[in-house]
Amino acid sequence: MPSPRDEWREAFDAAPRREADFDTMSGIPVEPVYGPADAEHPGQWPYTRGPYASMYRSKLWTMRMFAGFGTAPDTNRRFRELLAAGGSGLSTAFDLPTLMGRDSDDPLALGEVGRCGVAVDTLSDVEDLYRDIDLGAVTTSMTINGPAAVVLAMYVAAAERSGVPRRELGGTLQNDILKEYQAQKEFVFPPRPSVRLVADTIRFCSAEMPRWHTISVSGYHIREAGSTAAQELAFTIANGFAYVEAALAAGLSVDDFAPRLSFFFNAHVDFFEEIAKYRAARRIWARWLRDRYDARDPRSQQLRFHTQTAGVSLTAQQPEVNIVRTAIEALAGVLGGTQSLHTNSMDEVLALPTEKAARIALRTQQVIAHETRVANVADPLGGSWYVEALTDEMEHRAEEVFTHLDEIGHGSILEGVLSGIESGWFQREIGDAAYEIERKRNDGRHVVVGVNAFTEGNDEPPPEILRIGPRVEEEQLERLAKVRAVRDGERVGAALARVRADAAEPTVNLMPAIIEAVSAYATVGGGHGRPRRRVRSVRRDTGRLTRPVDPRLVSAAREAIGFMPDDEGLALHRAALDAPSVGPLLEIGTYCGKSAIYLGAAARERGTVLFTVDHHRGSEENQAGWEHHDLRLVDPETGRMDTLPFFRRTIERAGLEDVVVAVVGDSPTVAEHWRTPLRLLFVDGGHAEDVAMADYERWAPHVAETGLLAVHDVFEDPADGGQAPFHVWERAVGSGRFEPVGATGSLRVLRRVG
Instruction: Classify residue 548 by its DSSP letter.
Output: P
| pLDDT score of 624 | 53
Rg, C-alpha atoms of the chain: 28
Residue 91 forms beta bridges with which residues? 66, 141
Residue 552 has pLDDT above 80, yes or no: no
Q: How many CB atoms lie within 10 A of CB 446?
A: 14
Q: Please give the pLDDT value at position 628.
A: 52
b vs e for 7-23, b when ≥16 Cβ sit within 10 Å of the residue's Cβ? ebbeebeeeeeeeeeee
Residue 531 has pLDDT above 80, yes or no: no
Neighbours of 642 (CB within 10 A): 18
**What's residue 537's pLDDT?**
29
pLDDT given at position 629 = 52
Distance between start and end Cα atoms, the chain:
95
CA distance 518 to 468: 28
Q: Residue 753's pLDDT is what?
A: 87
pLDDT at 176: 96
Per-residue pLDDT of 15-62, as tens digits, reads 999 999 999 999 999 999 999 999 999 999 999 999 999 999 999 998
Query: In whole angstroms, how far apart are CA 47 and each of 7, 52, 264, 377?
Result: 14, 8, 17, 15
Is residue 661 within a helix (H) or strand (E), and if so which, with residue range?
strand 660-664
Is the model's pLDDT at 690 over the cut of 90?
no
Residue type, 538: V
Q: What is the DSSP string of 230-289?
A: HHHHHHHHHHHHHHHHHHHHTT--HHHHGGGEEEEEEE-S-HHHHHHHHHHHHHHHHHHH
Of the candidates 280, 334, 293, 299, the residue with the CA atom closest to the CA atom of residue 60: 334
CA dihedral 331, 333, 336, 338 (to 10 degrees): -130
- pLDDT, tens digit, for every residue of 618-652? 665 555 544 455 667 776 777 677 888 889 989 98
Q: Is the pLDDT of residue 695 over 60?
A: yes
50 backbone dihedrals φ, ψ, rounded to 5°:
135, 150
Dihedral pair phi/psi, residue 722, rounded to 5°: -60, 155
Return d(Cα 588, Cα 595) in angstroms, integer: 10
Rounded to 10 degrees, the C-alpha dihedral 83/85/88/89 comes to -50
| Other Cβ atoms closer than 10 A to 234 | 28
Nearest to 345, CA basis, from 322, 324, 367: 322
By mean pLDDT, which of 98-112, 297-311, 386-400, 711-725 is the weakest? 711-725
pTM across the whole model: 0.70
Q: Is the alpha carbon torsion for 343, 344, 346, 347 positive or negative?
A: positive
Structural contact between residues 653 and 703, judged by C-beta atoms closer than 8 angstroms: no
Q: Give the per-residue pLDDT at 719.
A: 62
> How far is Cα 479 from Cα 560, in angstroms, rounded to an integer?
38
* DSSP element (H, E) containing 650: helix 644-653
Quick one: which of 534, 495, 490, 493 has its CA closest to 514?
495
Over residues 583-589, mean pLDDT: 93
Q: What is the pLDDT of residues 413-460, one digit of tens each?
A: 999 999 999 999 999 999 999 999 999 999 999 999 999 999 998 888
d(CA 637, CA 333): 47
Name 143's bridge partners. Answer: 93
Question: Which DSSP helix (H) or strand (E) runs through 709?
Answer: strand 703-711
Please report the pLDDT score of residue 509 as a whole number: 96
Query: What single letter denotes the amino acid at residue 592?
Result: C
Residue 384 phi/psi, 5° resolution? Answer: -65, 130
pLDDT value at residue 686: 63
In the predicted model, what is the mean pLDDT of residues 72-79? Answer: 93
What is the average per-residue pLDDT within 691-716? 91
Smallest Cα–Cα separation from 140: which of 187, 91, 84? Answer: 91
Residue 494: what pLDDT? 95
Query: Does 134 have pLDDT greater than 90?
Result: yes
Q: Residues 363-378: pLDDT tens digits?
A: 999 999 999 999 999 9
pLDDT confidence bin for 582, thresholds 50/70/90: confident
Assess whether pLDDT exceeds 70 at residue 329. yes
pLDDT in tens, 83-130: 888 877 888 999 999 999 999 998 788 888 998 899 999 999 999 999
Q: Which of 375, 374, 364 is nearest to 63 (CA)?
A: 364
Give the per-residue pLDDT at 36.
Answer: 96
Q: What is the 3-state secondary structure (H, E, C) of 559-616?
A: HCCCCCCHHHHHHHHHHHHHCCCCCCEEEECCCCCHHHHHHHHHHHHHCCCEEEEECC
pLDDT in tens, 273-328: 999 999 999 999 999 999 999 999 999 999 999 999 999 999 999 999 999 999 99
Say which residues have a Cβ less than 8 Å from residue 391's Cβ, sequence separation at least 6. Answer: 48, 276, 279, 280, 283
Pairing of strands 738-744, 747-752: antiparallel
Closest alpha carbon to 524 in 498, 548, 492: 492
Mean pLDDT of the chain: 90
Residues in the chain: 754
The Cα 463–Cα 11 span in angstroms is 49
- What is d(CA 451, CA 313) in angstroms, rounded to the nearest whole number? 11
CB of 188 within 8 A of CB of 175? no
DSSP β-bridge partners for residue 663: 613
Q: In what order do the strands lie in the sheet with 738-744?
A: 660-664, 610-614, 585-588, 678-683, 703-711, 747-752, 738-744
Question: What is the predicted pLDDT for the residue at 510?
Answer: 96
The DSSP bridge pattern shows strands 171-173 and 139-143 to be: parallel
CA angle centred on 613, ends 691 and 745, rounded to 5°: 70
How far apart are alpha carbons 187 and 299 in whole angstroms?
A: 30
Query: Hey, how many other C-beta atoms are within 10 angstroms of the C-beta on 508?
Result: 13
* CA–CA distance, 370 with 380 (Å, rounded to integer): 16
